[in-house]
Amino acid sequence: MSAETFELSPIGHVQGARADVEDDYWGGAESRIVLNESVEESALAGIDQFSHAEILFVFDRVDPGNVIRGARHPRNNQAWPLTGILAQRAKNRPNRIGSTICRVVRREGRTLWVRELDAVEGTPVVDIKPVMREFLPREEVRQPAWSVELMGEYWERAK
């Protein structure tokens, strides 16, 4: 393995989530992350003392041929500006890695229940990190108007 490549193995998989890939209506969704046998159950010890966890996962259903390495209109909406893929949170990114901060519901053994993880059934999880206030932005978050419009129904409850 050279410094230019790396290998990731899932530490677990998402269960109990919805099966279909959709862009919106993740509000209230509850799912489980079940650790693989290669990771000790004790790796989750203490995670339930945190209100939130950041889950890093792989968009494994994205065809590598559909990965964007430049710019595109977010959600292919021509009304929104041509924007670099690294300035979006789209799934068709170069390394197909997703990241979501979600509420920790509870932990039982090798299973972590979370709320509002926008990953579908079977998604490979590559890391779990506790959310600490000190790692959140220390100033007001700034973002363009198109992103506010794009996220308008993202955290709404499923219809």
Per-residue pLDDT band for 49 (boundaries 50, 70, 90) equals very high
Q: What is the pLDDT of residues 110-141, one digit of tens each?
A: 999 999 998 999 999 999 999 999 999 999 99
Residues 133-157, mean pLDDT to the nearest whole number: 90
State yes or no: pLDDT of 24 exceeds 70: no
Q: Which of 59, 126, 61, 51 is nearest to 88 (CA)?
A: 59
Q: Does residue 47 come out as left (phi exceeding 0), alpha (psi in the -120 to 50 range) or beta? A: alpha
Per-residue pLDDT band for 78 (boundaries 50, 70, 90) equals very high
Residues 18-47, mean pLDDT to the nearest whole number: 85
Residues 8-37, mean pLDDT to the nearest whole number: 84
State yes or no: pLDDT of 25 exceeds 60: no
What is 23-71 written as a DSSP string?
Answer: SS--BT-EEEEEE-TTS-GGGGTTGGGSSEEEEEEE-TTS-GGG--SSE
CA distance 80 to 18: 28
SS3 15: strand
SS3 20: coil
State the pTM of this model: 0.91
The 8 Å CB, 24+ separation contacts for 2-8 are: 8/58, 8/126
